[in-house]
Amino acid sequence: MMKGIVILSGGLDSTTLLYKLVHEGHDVLALSFDYGQRHKKELDAAATVSRMLNVTHNVVKLNDWADILKSSGSSLTNPVIEVPEGHYAEDNMKQTVVPNRNMVMLSIATSTAIASGYDEFVATAVHAGDHEIYPDCRPDFLGSLEHAIRVGNEDFLPDHFKIFAPYIYETKADIASDAEMHGVPIDKTWSCYKGGMFHCGKCGTCVERLEAIDEACVEDDTIYEDYLFWKTVIK
């Protein structure tokens, strides 16, 4: 059993990671970030699943950064740019990247780990499907950052500290299977970029989620505005 921080967005992947670590007996603190994302539904979901697991959940508010990101090229933080619909493999999906986001989040999570004593790991739910368009989700980046964190915090972190990314070589379908195994309330998680009343079923993350859940043959009570669109855009 170890003590550590889990970066929790409130989506399927990080919620499954949280359930997995809690069920494995680790003592965890969940950390979410408010960086001006289009909507707060994922933060509400993060609070809900943390409550269900009886895990302490903190939200780091990055208001000034959010203001700067409003004029960035990312549809997740610039309200003027429309959220693209379709499959992640399409070119326009680069609009959903928030450059350097993982560097910021993992860095603040490390600082929180040291301050709180939950300092044996920082866990992130990046997976193999993220590698193509999100450079800060690739193994090379996480390995380099772990090294930089160790060097930059010598004597302040235990020697066995690690950035824990158990899904880095797994697919989203593997995560969906894990979600079922750990009893994750999938319909309480929030993935959709648009933040409407229900999941849209058409944005990149909705398409990816529906495809993964179908591939893993997992039951999902989430309501999607469009249940079938994803089948028209997968390769």
- Residue 189 and residue 61: Cα distance in Å, rounded? 20
Binds Zn ion by CB under 5 A, chosen from 31, 97, 200, 216: 200
Shortest separation between residue 211's beta carbon and Zn ion, angstroms: 13
Q: Does 206 bind Zn ion (CB under 5 A)?
A: yes
When asked if residue 192 is in the footprint of Zn ion (CB under 5 A), the reply is yes
Q: Does 6 bind Zn ion (CB under 5 A)?
A: no
Burial of 148 (0-12, 13-18, 19+ CB in 10 A): middle
Q: Which is nearer to Zn ion, 22 or 45 (CB)?
A: 45
26-29 long-range contacts, CB within 8 A, separation 24+: 26/1, 26/2, 27/1, 27/2, 27/3, 27/118, 28/3, 28/4, 28/55, 28/118, 28/123, 29/4, 29/5, 29/55, 29/56, 29/57, 29/58, 29/112, 29/116, 29/118
Binding residue count for Zn ion, defined by CB under 5 A: 5
Q: Which is nearer to Zn ion, 27 or 90 (CB)?
A: 90
Specify the residue, 120 or 208, whose C-beta has the smaller distance to Zn ion. 208
- In the complex, the smallest distance separating the C-beta of residue 34 from Zn ion, rounded to whole angstroms, is 20
Q: Is 203 in the site for Zn ion (CB under 5 A)?
A: yes
State yes or no: residue 210 binds Zn ion (CB under 5 A).
no
Binding site for Zn ion (CB under 5 A): 192, 194, 200, 203, 206
